[in-house]
Chain A
């Protein structure tokens, strides 16, 4: 009898166990996307063996600052891990200057890492992993959040000031015959023009060049007890710490004998006369951008050197026309100008595509300005200057009394009361922001341009067409299938603009009009 009890007990005990598993599976160990993982600015992916072919094991995530800090506490310095090369610079590689052989590189890492970790734990300190799987983990690259850093004009200015305009401290040229670096005045350009993403033969990668140069220099300054830049990863690569890098109040111009004003023209003498040249305010554009590379993306040459009329190999077959007009390319004129339309104060109008009318002749002539009679100017830059000065950089405007102060929209009063719009205030706001900027001032010259932001397709006059003239009732047949009905047109315009400009106001119904209590309560189905 007892044995039987035990057996039945076992049977009934097993079912709850199965349910328990069920619970564990369903309610435990759930993992969701978007869960915030720890992310490291000082993470380096150790993949030294990648130079010798495909990696057998996953790359190792190495936290550099963590190690630096740990060594500092033990009064150890960089030389614990890095060796000095013949120029007395620290090699950024771990315990070696060159990659000799696969086995040797592997041994360097395995022996040194594991030994040090063992020693640390033997002395009772917090230590790192010593088994394979703890270091070689999958998908570690996901936990990196290193912010790239760029030497912008301010940072460059601070460095040139500190080094008394001795450009040769950093800038150099390379002589392939003697295989030596040398400096040539007036040839300085961006590091990236030569140092690419990967090390090729005896040309260091950008990352290696930057770290060897910057960190070693900063380190020497620290040793000489001078003001010095960061030597830890986070000093440069943490997005928050980047904000702390001080900016110069007045940023000096980068001098490379560039013109103040240039004339952009094609280099084909035969076609030269057929298209008006474009005067270009080079000096002003230097101020708008952080680096030269924004426009001069491959070298500090004239655009026309690589972008010819039909395009050549050196310019990736991009013609001069495309290089200036391609919208999606930020280094093109129109690409950059259109990107400015995304600025908060511009996007309100520019989010509606109907407000753009640019096929007109007038539109091209904004840049391709008509040239005064030939021979008036002997120098290109004089002509360019003349044209630039001749431009009018502010918008025209109606007189204040001509602009209605308030507009009341009462066509659709039903569920809500009528809405009142501070019309003049809005117009004045836009005029002010247009005139605050040379680019917008120049392109919104006409006094109706600002009106057309909302009154699109309407004739230019003090009394534009009413919205309801075009925007009909729901289900009405229309040639343009996507034409919004009146309610949509109103809301789309107001809310769309407020949303895009992030004005905050006018996002809930009651922000613009009151609810009609009566309607809601007496409605048929209520």
Chain B
């Protein structure tokens, strides 16, 4: 590859990169969630770690019965996460403010307004419903598990042990129940009101109200209001969320925005590459042709020059031959004349 060609290629790649990134930042659409969609407000300060929500979730979703009964709270001593048999779990955290009162936090699918799982699924198995829940359709799922990779909250789980019908498993926000007008299982069973179901907009108002009424009890942050572009599940806490194993560094950008730039690069490559490549091909061809032509011309010229040279040589030779001839004649004439005069003298 010549230097010029390499630079050409590199330049082309660079150009597409630039276009890609500018298109990305130029996106001005901002989805604020479906109006009147539902959500749940989890007030962490009220949770007492009774595991009623876990039991209700298990019952409502008809999940296999666990080895340890739900009334046994000793399991809280260990950090747990969602699994294909448990769509929600409660974890216990040390309270740095007051070690006598531990903090309990429930985890489950946060039902993002613009879910990463739905954005990365290549068969559209995930759907954000207008009611709020993010639903999964096992009938089309191929099982690539990109949703699990993409989820910033590490929520979706997989039935790795099934050979023929493995599914992604996660909380549905009890979609079948809420369209019937019932509360999600966990919310209904929560004895302390740590979980509150309602319209997301109302829940944000309630959360703000609680913070302003008791600024000493809450930190001024509604987790989920803006995280990853906002989630249907919202959280209030008395200690920084970081201490509860919740990530505060996720940013407020919805997941799909991270890939928008790369996706907008596709039409650019598809549109420009053929033109560019054909152009380069044509240039190469032309260069070869020109080189060919030049070569031919060169040969022609050389031949002509040779010819001219030969002619000149011939002419010179001819001339020389003429002169020689003349001299010879002159000589002969002279000789004859001399001989004649000699003969004259003698004779």
Q: Do A and B come from one complex?
A: yes
* CB-based nearest B residue for A490: B191
A488 touching B59 in the complex, CB below 8 Å, given contacts A481-B205, A499-B101: no
A510: B residues at CB distance < 8 A: 71
B193: A residues at CB distance < 8 A: 484-485, 487-489, 491-492
CB pair B50 A509 closer than 8 Å: yes
Nearest chain A CB to B296 CB, angstrom units: 49
Residue B206, interface by CB 8 Å: yes
Nearest chain B CB to A300 CB, angstrom units: 30
Q: Please, how many residues of chain A have a CB less than 8 angstroms from a CB on the other chain?
A: 25
- Determine the main DSSP class of B at the interface with A: mixed
CB pair A475 B191 closer than 8 Å: no
* CB-based nearest A residue for B56: A415
Residue B188, interface by CB 8 Å: yes
Scan B60-85; emit 1 where CB is below 8 A from any A CB, else 0.
10100000000101000000000000
B50: A residues at CB distance < 8 A: 508-509
B202: A residues at CB distance < 8 A: 481
Residue B210, interface by CB 8 Å: yes
* CB-based nearest B residue for A507: B48
A525 touching B59 in the complex, CB below 8 Å, given contacts A481-B198, A491-B191, A509-B50: yes
Residue A495, interface by CB 8 Å: yes
Question: Which chain A residues numbered 252 to 310 have a C-beta less than 8 Å away from chain B?
Answer: none
B210: A residues at CB distance < 8 A: 482
Contact of B73 among A491, A508, A525, A526 (CB under 8 A): A508
Nearest chain B CB to A37 CB, angstrom units: 15
B71: A residues at CB distance < 8 A: 509-510, 515
Residue A176, interface by CB 8 Å: no
B62: A residues at CB distance < 8 A: 525
Residue B30, interface by CB 8 Å: no
Residue A502, interface by CB 8 Å: yes
Interface size classification for chain B: 20 to 34
B162: A residues at CB distance < 8 A: none
A185–B197 CA distance with the chains assembled, in angstroms:
68
Contact of B191 among A482, A488, A499 (CB under 8 A): A488
Nearest chain A CB to B229 CB, angstrom units: 24
A489–B198 CA distance with the chains assembled, in angstroms:
18
A353 touching B213 in the complex, CB below 8 Å, given contacts A474-B188, A481-B205, A510-B71: yes
Scan B198-238; emit 1 where CB is below 8 A from any A CB, else 0.
10001001100110011000000000000000000000000
Residue B165, interface by CB 8 Å: no
Question: Which chain A residues numbered 480 to 526 have a C-beta less than 8 Å away from chain B?
Answer: 481-482, 484-485, 487-489, 491-492, 495-496, 499, 502, 507-510, 515, 523, 525-526
Scan B137-152; emit 1 where CB is below 8 A from any A CB, else 0.
0000000000000000
A523–B189 CA distance with the chains assembled, in angstroms:
14
A509–B190 CA distance with the chains assembled, in angstroms:
12
* CB-based nearest A residue for B58: A525
B121: A residues at CB distance < 8 A: none
B187: A residues at CB distance < 8 A: 474
B181: A residues at CB distance < 8 A: 475
A399–B163 CA distance with the chains assembled, in angstroms:
73
A169–B108 CA distance with the chains assembled, in angstroms:
66
Residue B183, interface by CB 8 Å: yes
22 A–B contacts from the bound complex (CB under 8 Å): A353-B214, A415-B189, A474-B183, A474-B187, A475-B181, A475-B197, A481-B202, A482-B196, A482-B209, A482-B210, A491-B191, A492-B192, A495-B192, A496-B192, A502-B98, A507-B48, A508-B50, A508-B73, A509-B50, A525-B60, A525-B62, A526-B59
The 10 A-B pairs at the shortest CB distance, nearest first, are namely A488-B193, A491-B191, A491-B192, A482-B206, A484-B193, A525-B59, A481-B202, A481-B206, A474-B183, A353-B213
B interface, CB within 8 angstroms of A? 46, 48, 50, 52, 59-60, 62, 71, 73, 98, 100-101, 181, 183, 187-193, 196-198, 202, 205-206, 209-210, 213-214
